[in-house]
Structure 1
Amino acid sequence: MDLDQLRTFDRIVRDQSFTRAAAYLNITQATASMRIRALEQLLGVTLFVRGRTVTLTDQGMTFLPFARRIIGTAQEAREALRRVERGRIAIGSLRSLVSPLITESLLRFQEKYPGVDVVVNEGRQSQIAAMLHEREVEMGILCWPNLDPLIVDLVPLMIMRERVPLVVAPEIAARLPARPSIEEVLELVPRVISLRWWQAEPETAAALVRMAKTSVDLPTGPARRLALKGQGLGFFVASAIADDVAAGRLVEIAPTDFEPLHRDTAMVVRSLAALERDMLADFIAEIAVECAKIGVILDNRLEALRPKVA
């Protein structure tokens, strides 16, 4: 069974004619007939009822979706190979960091590499680890240190520490003293918003949930909207609510009996050989610029590593 046989089969089904299908494929009718006979012999069935119009047998109707699936897969593979020829980069990032880290860096990267395809996948820690494990992505942005047992041989290129402040709506903040206790805060909010920013939840965040009258576990988008409406408070990664804080839509508070929280993340690769691709190394360098804007850089190995593999 080969693709020429399958394409001929599909074309005859579409045109209901060997003659028209042969003309479309720019082959002789004898060649079209020969391909179908060979296919039928291979499958051990008759695919067409031949007559003034050509129709499918029951076996042909059963085989048709499988044939088209094979043709479609071959086309997808061919397009993927064409994209690789002109350049392709695939990275995976924690969902909360796609917007603050990737948007501007991608714009600068595309100015330098306008013909390169870029794929950015987002997800939770375990999903990014799985993408790296399966080599679906070349670089990942995830919590650090990585505790996922699926993949333990990751090489950190840059480690960033970002604040995770406790925020409330301004109408709630206005009713609080300058340095409130957590009990005073909880008296004014109906619920605590729990967001899974960490691989292992810090005791401070877990204690807040235990003390609350009610809590809700939400993704960033709906959690942010709940906080904006004054319906809860929660620990938000600073970059996720920076615009809201700057505009006064949310207010950071620092209860006297709760210590500040942070989250460490890293850009990682499976092997330093990934940096041998100048395109990928340049994209990582652009992302590093954005990392420095939103957090404190704890470890930057890019400058030391790049010359060694260049």
Structure 2
Amino acid sequence: MDLDQLRTFDRIVREQSFTKAAAYLNITQATASMRMRALEQLLGVTLFVRGRTVSLTDQGMTFLPFARRIIGTAQEAREALRRVERGRIAIASLRSLVSPLITESLLRFQEKYPAVDVVVNEGRQAQIAEMLHERESELGILCWPNLEPLAVDLVPLLTMRERVPLVISADKAAKLSATPEIEEVLALVPRVISLIWWQVAPEASTALTRRAPTSVELPTGPARRLAIKGEGIGFFVNSAVADDIAAGRLVEILPIDVEPLHRDTAMVVRSLTALERPMLVDFIREIAKECARVGTILDSRLEDLLSAA
């Protein structure tokens, strides 16, 4: 079985004619017939009811989706190889960090490498670990230290600490006392917005959810909107709400009985061999600039690792 046979089979089905299929494929009708006889002999079934019009047998109908799946996979593989020829980088990042860390980095990177394909996958911690484990991505941005057993041998290039402020709408914040306790806050806004920022939620976050009359778990976008509307309070990573705080749509509050929170993340590779690709190293350096802008760099081993590589 080869791709020429499968493509001919698919085209005959589409055209309902050996003659039209042969013309489309720029082959002779005899070649099309020969390919189908060989395919049928290999499969041990008759694929077509031949006559004035051509139709599929039950066996042909059964085989058709598999044939098209093989053709599609081959096309995807060929396109992937073309991308490798001109360069390709694959990154996996926590959803909450794609916009603050990768957007501007990507713009600067593509100015230098306009022909390179860049794939950015987003997800939660376990999904990022899986993509690194399966080598679907070369570079990962995830919570640190990593607790996912699927990928325990990750090499951190840089670790960053980001504040996770408790925020509330501006109009609700104006009604609070200067040094509120959390009960005062919850009496004013009883709904707590839960977001999965951590691998293991800190006690301050889970305690707030337990104490709240009601809670809701939402993605970042709807969660921000709910908070801005004064319908909930929640711990947001600073990069997700910095613009809203600066514009006065949200206000960070510091209840005297709630511990301030932060989140540590890392930029990691599965193997130091990834640093042998200069264009990937350039992209990593661009992302490192955004890390310094968004949070506090706790540890950066990138230059030392490059020197040792």
Q: What range describes the TM-score normalised by the shorter chain of this pair?
A: over 0.9
Percent identical pairs in the alignment equals 82
Q: Which position in structure 2 is the counterpart of 1:239? A: 239
Aligned ranges 1:117-156 → 2 under 5 Å:
117-156=117-156
Query: What's the secondary structure of 1:92's corresponding residue?
Result: strand
How many angstroms does 1:152 deviate by?
Answer: 0.7
Q: Which amino acid aligns with 1:76?
A: E
How many angstroms does 1:50 deviate by?
Answer: 2.3
C-alpha separation in 1, matches of 2:183 and 2:16: 77
Distance 1:248 1:41, change over 3 A: same
C-alpha separation in 2, matches of 1:210 and 1:56: 62
User: CA deviation digits over 1:54-85, x for unaligned, max 9?
Assistant: 33222222222221221111111111111111
C-alpha separation in 1, matches of 2:223 and 2:130: 26
User: CA deviation digits over 1:4-30, x for unaligned, max 9?
Assistant: 111111222223332332232222222
- Please identify, of 214-223 and 69-78, the stretch whose mean Cα deviation from structure 2 is larger: 214-223
Query: What's the secondary structure of 2:188's corresponding residue?
Result: coil
Q: Which position in structure 2 is the counterpart of 1:263? A: 263
C-alpha separation in 1, matches of 2:259 and 2:66: 60
C-alpha separation in 1, matches of 2:160 and 2:189: 32
Q: Which position in structure 2 is the counterpart of 1:4? A: 4
Q: Which position in structure 1 is the counterpart of 2:105? A: 105
C-alpha separation in 1, matches of 2:85 and 2:267: 26
Q: Which position in structure 2 is the counterpart of 1:47? A: 47
Q: Which amino acid aligns with 1:143?
A: C
Structure 1 runs of 4+ off > 6 angstroms? none
C-alpha separation in 2, matches of 1:284 and 1:15: 50
Q: Which position in structure 2 is the counterpart of 1:33? A: 33
Distance 1:17 1:293, change over 3 A: same
Counterpart check, 1:216 vs 2:216: yes
Query: What's the secondary structure of 1:187's corresponding residue?
Result: helix
How many angstroms does 1:253 deviate by?
Answer: 0.8
Give the superposed CA RMSD: 1.3
Number of matched pairs: 309
Structure 1-normalised TM-score? Answer: 0.96
C-alpha separation in 2, matches of 1:62 and 1:202: 53
Q: Which position in structure 1 is the counterpart of 2:24? A: 24
How many angstroms does 1:95 deviate by?
Answer: 0.6
- Please identify, of 184-193 and 98-107, the stretch whose mean Cα deviation from structure 2 is larger: 184-193
Query: What's the secondary structure of 1:293's corresponding residue?
Result: helix
Unpaired runs of 5+ in structure 1?
A: none
Counterpart check, 1:230 vs 2:230: yes
- Please identify, of 241-250 and 33-42, the stretch whose mean Cα deviation from structure 2 is larger: 33-42
Distance 1:206 1:55, change over 3 A: closer
- Please identify, of 283-292 and 19-28, the stretch whose mean Cα deviation from structure 2 is larger: 19-28
How many angstroms does 1:221 deviate by?
Answer: 1.5
Query: What's the secondary structure of 1:153's corresponding residue?
Result: coil
- Please identify, of 220-229 and 238-247, the stretch whose mean Cα deviation from structure 2 is larger: 220-229
User: CA deviation digits over 1:216-271, x for unaligned, max 9?
Assistant: 22221221111111111111100000010000000011111222110000001111
User: CA deviation digits over 1:109-166, x for unaligned, max 9?
Assistant: 0101101111111111111111111111111100000111111111000000000011
Q: Which amino acid aligns with 2:184?
A: E
